[in-house]
Amino acid sequence: MFQTLYSYFWWERLWLPANLTWADLEDRDGRVYAKASDLYITLPLAFLFLIVRHLFETYVATPLAGLLNVKEKVRLKATPNAVLENFWLGATVGGRAVWGVGPVGPSSSLPAPSPCPSEDRLLPFSSWRFTFYLIAFIAGMAVIVDKPWFYDLREVWKGYPIQSMLPSQYWYYMIELSFYWSLLFSIASDVKRKVGWGWEGLGGGCMHWDRVGGTSWEDLGTQRGRRMAGIMHCTVVYPLDLYPAFFGYYFFNFMMVVLQSLHIFWAYLIIRMAQKFITGKVVEDERSDREETDNSEEEEEAAKNGPLSNGHPVLNNNHRKTD
């Protein structure tokens, strides 16, 4: 059964133009082509990224947070309230005990806090991603700037699909995919962000769109609108001059459209954040989940108003009566 599914998935008519087979793309005459088996190397590289990230956050980002005086906010501890706890434990609806419903929780007179990252967690996380993307951008520009298809997108399809994969292209794909694997492996403990993944690179490798895949990765990272529009034209229009549309053609272009839509959305969030900064409003990272900010605001309000009980300030009734 597995072999049958494997055969259907790698059916040549899905990923290759008509009259072309996988045998035509075997290494020969000094030409080296992309292979699905190349993806195996991304798994150990992903774990290597996790190790490097740990070292970076421990010995670089965390000391940097200290130099910038970024400290974790003190979390308020709720004062035990026997009345509210007994009410919580005994609450019933229709004869059934209700757990996890209501404004209070067991052993707490405050709403159960949702896990949210503090600023000293955000800085190492963000600085790690910033460092990788900066290095990847510089390295990507270095390996593509001398290629003819960087200046003339029609060169992307010259000789397609009989195009040998260059070592620089190979490692650019492997390192990028390994990095995204490492983010996937650490997603449970990472700061929740509105992020995307580099699946267009995987699709490009499957269909031997190595040149356009690498070019799109680099140009999407630089956010150049006219250049991106040119790449979309390159992937939608130019291939049809060489062969009829097939599944791989639609699949890859669909991923490109989704990715471009995500970049437009991210650009909108960044512009809105910049607008708030310019107008003097409180600036928060628009790409982070809203609950992180909400929780922080509640804590600041609690610090101003004193201890809370069931979400309201506790009144101090210990004043001495005056005659």
pLDDT, tens only, 5-26:
888 888 888 888 888 888 888 8
Which region among 151-165, 167-181, 267-281, 295-309 has the lowest average model confidence (pLDDT)? 295-309
- pLDDT at residue number 45: 96
The answer to the question of residue 96 being in a domain is no
Which region among 151-155, 165-169, 194-198 has the lowest average model confidence (pLDDT)? 194-198
Q: What is the pTM of this model?
A: 0.68
- pLDDT at residue number 222: 44
Number of domains in the chain: 1
The answer to the question of residue 53 being in a domain is yes
Answer whether residue 199 shows pLDDT above 80. no
Q: What length does the chain have?
A: 323
Q: What is the domain extent for residue 173? A: 28-67+122-191
- pLDDT at residue number 216: 63
Q: What is the pLDDT of residues 43-68, one digit of tens each?
A: 999 999 999 999 999 999 888 888 88
Q: What's the average model confidence in pLDDT over 103-114?
A: 44
Q: What is the pLDDT of residues 110-145, one digit of tens each?
A: 444 444 445 556 778 889 999 999 999 899 889 888
The answer to whether 62 and 127 are in contact (CB under 8 A) is: no
The answer to the question of residue 74 being in a domain is no
- pLDDT at residue number 323: 45
Q: What is the pLDDT of residues 206-241, one digit of tens each?
A: 556 666 666 665 654 444 555 667 788 888 998 898
The answer to the question of residue 290 being in a domain is no
The answer to the question of residue 217 being in a domain is no
The answer to the question of residue 19 being in a domain is no
pLDDT tier for residue 101 given thresholds of 50, 70 and 90: very low
Long-range contact pairs involving 237-245 (C-beta distance under 8 Å, separation at least 24): 238/153, 238/154, 238/156, 238/157, 239/157, 239/160, 241/157, 242/17, 242/157, 242/160, 243/17, 243/18, 244/17, 244/18
- pLDDT at residue number 128: 92
The answer to the question of residue 140 being in a domain is yes
pLDDT tier for residue 75 given thresholds of 50, 70 and 90: low
| Average pLDDT of the residues of the chain | 74
The answer to the question of residue 138 being in a domain is yes
Answer whether residue 172 shows pLDDT above 70. yes
Which region among 56-60, 242-246, 287-291, 316-320 has the lowest average model confidence (pLDDT)? 316-320
Task: Extract the runs of DSSP E, i.e. beta strands, from the chain.
Answer: 92-93, 96-97, 308-309, 312-313
